[in-house]
Amino acid sequence: MTMQFDIASGKAGKTSLAFWAAGLFNWLLVAALLFAILAFAGEASAQSPTCTGTDMVAELRDSDPELHGAIEAEAAETENGENLLWRIEPRVAGGKPSFLFGTMHVTDARVVDLPEAVRAGFEAADTVVIESTDVIDQAAMMAALAADPELTMFTDATTLRSLIPADDVEMVEARLRERGMPLASVNRMKPWMLASIVAMPACEFDRKARGEPILDLMLAEDAQEADKVLAGLESVSDQLGAMASLPMELHIEGLVETLRLGDRVEDVMETMVVLYQAERIGMFWPFFRAVLPSGEDGQSGYAAFEETMVNARNRTMAEAAEEFLQNGGAFIAVGALHLPGQQGLVALLRAAGYEVTPEPL
């Protein structure tokens, strides 16, 4: 039987965690899009908080070298898994090169402080393209939510409490109270939407409350200040619809398991930041798979998430990117999870006929 890393104890075991780990990376952008609208921020601290999480990959290296080695081996075989910045040659003779950059949707200074090569590619671009320009357009967010309330709220007799397994209700209520969100106050909210908020560590939540921008928002604001053309590859409705289309039981499981983690969600965030800094984006999926539950149900849930929230969106974004890449001079910034693998954006753009090469940082 495959050994799995129990992030609750830091040891290997036959633990059943959930697909929440795979969802966290994408949930962070959803949370950022929703943050300005939801009234859960409370008062921000006087100083920017520091996260105190532990790198779980390093922890795993010590506690289970065999599993760590298997993850490393799988990551090494992942196509296009060791670079955040990619140069894309234009199809028009004499055109400027474009750049594809993998982001992480957080406010952490280690992420937001751009390497010189990334900043140079950004400054040289005429057009900046992000996943969704709705990240800077609260009116668009409000319009999308109002147009289809079913995406975010239960509009019938269903409630969160009615869907949460009986054995987990007490834990869920306690953890939500700790977050200042009594279950009664969020009982009509779709579980994926609530999970988008509770998946953020308290330190990240507080930084957002202070108005510190995630990397994607910073790039968008810098583009506007520099009078660059700003465009998006998706709409917020696309993103909300993709998330809402996944089976309800997966969303409930993701919410319950995220709340069960408690403060250890900071360890997940720290692990993602460490891997991101090292440009080990090919490690994300192998690591996620190592902590997902064993068994057919867990694998099918993982596959559904990967296809809906990553692969299908990769195809959509690659197609939408074409108009910006034809003449060159574009800087395209999307979540780093969308870059590696046979169905990642780098491979898809190469298949579309573009010359895409890694650019060292």
Can you say how many angstroms the Cα of residue 251 is from the centroid of all Cα atoms in its chain?
A: 15
pLDDT level of residue 81 (50, 70, 90 thresholds): very high
**Across 168-177, 185-194, 294-303, 331-340, least confident range:** 294-303
Residue with tokens 């573009």: 354
pLDDT level of residue 26 (50, 70, 90 thresholds): low
Q: What is the pLDDT of residue 33?
A: 62
d(CA 120, CA 116): 6
Q: What is the pLDDT of residue 48?
A: 56
Query: Is the pLDDT score of 89 beyond 60?
Result: yes
Virtual torsion, Cα 16, 151, 262, 300, nearest 10 deg: 10
| Segments in the chain forming alpha helices (H) | 20-35, 56-63, 65-76, 109-112, 116-124, 138-147, 160-163, 169-178, 191-198, 202-209, 215-225, 236-244, 248-261, 265-277, 284-291, 296-305, 312-325, 345-351
163 touches 255 (CB < 8 A): no
Smallest CA-to-CA distance from 152 within 262, 254, 236, 42 is with 236
d(CA 131, CA 135): 9
134 DSSP 8-state letter = G
pLDDT in tens, 308-322: 888 999 999 999 999
pLDDT in tens, 236-277: 778 778 888 888 888 888 888 888 888 888 888 898 899 999
d(CA 107, CA 13): 33
Split into its structural domains, the chain has a count of 1
pLDDT level of residue 74 (50, 70, 90 thresholds): very high
Which pair of structure tokens corresponds to residue 361? 């940082």
Its domain, for residue 71, covers: 4-10+17-358
d(CA 153, CA 37): 14
User: Is-above-0.95 flag for pTM?
Assistant: no
Q: What is the pLDDT of residue 32?
A: 65
Q: What is the pLDDT of residue 261?
A: 81
Residues 6 or more apart whose CB falls under 8 angstroms from that of 156 comprise none
**Residue-by-residue DSSP string for 252-272:** HHHHHHHHHHGGGHHHHHHHH
